Amino acid sequence: MFNFQKEISFLSKHHLIRTLVPIDSGQATTLKQNGKSFLHFSSNNYLGLAGHPTLKSTAIRAVEEWGVGGGASRLVSGNSRLYFELETKIAKFKNTASALVFPSGYAANIGAIGALVQKQDLIFADRLCHASLIDGARLSGATLRVYRHKDTEQLAKLLRQKKKKGQTLIITDGVFSMDGDIAPLAEILRLAEEFDALIYLDDAHATGVLGPNGRGTCDYFALSSPRIIQMGTLSKALGGLGGFIAADRVLIEYLINKARPFIYTTALPPVLLATALAGFELIESDPEIRNRLWRLTSRVRTQINQMGFNTCGSETPIIPILIGPTETALTFSQKLLEEGIYIPAIRPPTVPDGTSRLRISLMATHTDEQIQLLLNSLKHIGKKLRLI
């Protein structure tokens, strides 16, 4: 017999049970729950575009014109012209010949990786890669080897040892989602060239955020190479929903024909394509939004480090506070909640055992006053719990 209750009891006992709580407001710097309002520091809506007036009015107009649903898969009749416009925009933004939009970042990862490599091939992945990348790797059937986080020396060693014939794919996040640090892309590219590998770069948290023009990790390192397949999402800095791959034309044509999570699913509602397009335009036309995000980032990170917390080498608007024991992380989060600050604890299996943490993410729309309230609470709760 199945015994689901036993597993749930086990999770509860180890403080690992997950529950869904209803949120009564849209994604903004404050969040309503159970009739109370909290300062919100756990959204991936980095640029505040999820509630930006331009995107809202774009959405209303798109709904009037296109209605609400995608209707059918893209290869049948769901491929609205907006897809063409958005994919042209993304390719230009990412400096590639072509791009392909998927229903989500998750679908892009399992779809693209699942199609790019097969059983006879080899995948090397950073240990802290996002779960969706690991799922894609598993789905592909290729042999998966994991290297220590950002450890390109170990990656080189593993590449040197490879005996298998097949293709080699190196998978990494650009900005790591739970640590907020940046992949050593220049070094990984050097290895990819030496060992004739392709790089699958998950820029979910970098797109719209990282680099002088917000174009992502390649922009940050001023790199461009046909060996780098760039993945991104429309659900974080872009404020909506959808994932994408930016690469050369042949690869995109291949994915259209081979990526099952692309083929066998309904097209996105046109309204989401229209808002993503408006989001990219805003990122290009209003760099001040991104600049403010980075000013807040450097202020918050510096002050949290000065308090004596460990921020896991964060370099971006994702700023973790490493706690360690899951129970303590939960207590910290609960105390913050009592002071009106919403930052859920991140626990295994999302992060490795023994590394439970608070994960702060900043938005360009946070006010200076909201930031100060956050810093004050972190400091005195941290002291009360004897963490600093």
Ligand X SMILES: *Cc1c(COP(=O)(O)O)cnc(C)c1O
Show which residues are catalytic: 177, 205, 236
* Sheet of 341-342, strand order: 30-33, 36-40, 341-342
Residue 71: what residue type? G
3-class SS of residue 215 = coil
**Sequence-separated (6 or more) residues with CB below 8 Å from residue 215:** 93, 94, 95, 207
Distance of closest approach, residue 110 Cβ to ligand X, in angstroms: 10
DSSP string over 317-378 = SEEEEEEESHHHHHHHHHHHHHTTEE-PEE-TTTS-TT-EEEEEE--TT--HHHHHHHHHHH
Cβ-based nearer residue to ligand X, 108 or 371: 108
Nearer to ligand X, 278 or 371 (CB): 278
Q: How far is the CB of 244 from ligand X (least distance, A)?
A: 9
Stretch that binds ligand X, among 59-67, 187-195, 200-208, 283-291 (CB under 6 A): 200-208
Tokens 């509602």, residue located: 269
Please state the closest distance from residue 379 (CB atom) to ligand X, in A: 28
Task: Identify the three-state secondary structure at position 222.
Answer: coil
CB of 31 within 8 A of CB of 40?
Answer: yes
Query: Which 8-state DSSP code applies to residue 239?
Result: -
Would you say 201 or 336 has its CB closer to ligand X? 201
If the CB atoms of residues 136 and 382 are measured against ligand X, the closer one turns out to be 136
Torsion of CA 370, 284, 280, 289, to 10 degrees: 0
Task: Write down the least CB distance from residue 383 to ligand X, Å.
Answer: 32
Q: Please select the residue that binds ligand X; options are 43, 58, 132, 230, rule is CB under 6 A.
A: 132
Number of residues binding to ligand X, judged by CB under 6 A: 14
Only segment of 2-10, 164-172, 197-205, 251-259 that touches ligand X (CB under 6 A): 197-205
Interstrand relation of 243-247 and 98-102 (parallel, antiparallel or unpaired): antiparallel
Whichever of 78 and 243 has its CB closer to ligand X, that residue is 243
Per-residue contact flags (x/-) with ligand X for residues 164 to 193, judged by CB under 6 A: ---------x---x----------------
Q: Which is nearer to ligand X, 78 or 136 (CB)?
A: 136
Select the residue whose beta carbon is closest to ligand X and give its number.
105
Paired residues of 358 in beta bridges: 321, 345
Among 43, 45, 80, 104, binds ligand X (CB under 6 A): 104
The candidate with the shortest Cα–Cα distance to 55, out of 32, 13, 26, is 26
d(CA 29, CA 42): 9
State which of positions 207-246 bind ligand X (CB under 6 A). 233, 235, 243
CB 323 within 8 Å of CB 329: yes
CA–CA dist 330, 287 (Å, integer): 36
Closest separation in Å from C-beta 106 to ligand X: 4
Contact window for ligand X (CB under 6 A) among 98-106, 214-222, 248-256, 282-290: 98-106
Q: Is 86 in the site for ligand X (CB under 6 A)?
A: no
Residue span binding ligand X (CB under 6 A) among the ranges 12-20, 100-108, 213-221, 312-320: 100-108
3-state secondary structure of 221: helix
Tell me which of 112, 128, 204, 267 binds ligand X, using CB under 6 A: 204
Closest separation between CB of residue 133 and ligand X, Å? 7
Cβ proximity to ligand X: between 357 and 370 the closer is 357
- Which residues lie near ligand X (CB under 6 A)? 104-106, 109, 130, 132, 173, 177, 202, 204-205, 233, 235, 243
